């Protein structure tokens, strides 16, 4: 199912279809009886028509169940395709907020705080809900080298999360930066 909330991503990469899959619980026990978190959940795979979809890589997960696999490393979520798409999306927006939820319905207090700050400054901004796509959420953490959300991008550059945005707002630095970005 294609996600409507990814319109900035779709505009930047029309050949990519953004879908979501929810995987709940934990993966089956591997080797010593321990469970592993679902870091390998969705994967990006190519289709014949060059559209990209997300799907669960069950063959890989089945291979991990054998006794010869005692440990493994999580694969990087930031594929070259996702990096290119994120580069385009971030560059296409003056102010972009990757957040949990939407501007109308934030799903965490930190995201809500940044939305309130931006709204109080009457700044036009786009939002992308990272809760709808695990690959996007994990890839963004690598892309920005920032482990949490929300993530604010101003004029194509990563600015920071909630605390940095709130501090910059209180000091007046955020207003100055936004004025420069919106005038350029």
Domain ranges of the chain: 4-75, 81-183
SS (H, E, C) the chain: CECHHHHHHHHHCCCCCCECCCCCCCCCCECCCECCCCCCCEEEEECCCCCEEEEECHHHHHHHCCCCCCCCCCCCCCCHHHHHHHHHHHHHCCEEEEECECCCCECCHHHHHHHHHHHHCCCCCEEEEHHHCHHHHHHHHHHHCCCCCCEEEECCEEEECHHHHHHHHHHCHHHHHHHHHHHC
Assigned architecture for domain 81-183: 3-Layer(aba) Sandwich (3.40)
Give, for all 184 residues of the chain, the pLDDT tens digit.
445 555 666 666 666 655 555 444 444 444 444 433 444 334 444 333 323 333 333 333 344 344 443 334 456 889 999 999 999 999 999 999 999 999 999 999 999 999 999 999 999 999 999 999 999 999 999 999 999 999 999 999 999 999 999 999 999 999 999 999 999 8
Confidence at residue 74, expressed as pLDDT on a 0 to 100 scale? 52
Confidence at residue 12, expressed as pLDDT on a 0 to 100 scale? 65
Confidence at residue 167, expressed as pLDDT on a 0 to 100 scale? 98
């Amino acid at each position: 199912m294609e996600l409507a909330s990814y319109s900035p991503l779709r505009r930047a990469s029309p050949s990519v279809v953004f879908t979501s899959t929810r995987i709940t619980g934990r993966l089956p026990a591997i080797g010593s009886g321990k469970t592993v978190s679902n870091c390998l959940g969705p994967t990006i795979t190519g289709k014949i028509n060059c559209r990209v979809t997300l799907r669960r890589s069950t063959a890989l997960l089945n291979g991990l169940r054998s006794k010869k696999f005692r440990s493994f490393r999580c694969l990087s979520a930031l594929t070259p395709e996702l990096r290119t798409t994120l580069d385009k999306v971030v560059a296409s927006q003056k102010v972009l907020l990757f957040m949990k939820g939407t501007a109308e319905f934030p799903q965490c207090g930190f995201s809500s705080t940044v939305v309130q700050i931006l709204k109080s400054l009457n700044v036009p901004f786009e939002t992308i809900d990272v809760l709808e796509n695990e690959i996007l959420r994990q890839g963004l953490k690598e892309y920005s080298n920032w482990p949490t959300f929300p993530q604010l991008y101003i004029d194509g550059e990563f600015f920071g999360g909630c605390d940095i945005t709130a501090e910059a707002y209180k000091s007046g630095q955020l207003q100055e930066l936004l004025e420069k970005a919106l005038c350029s």
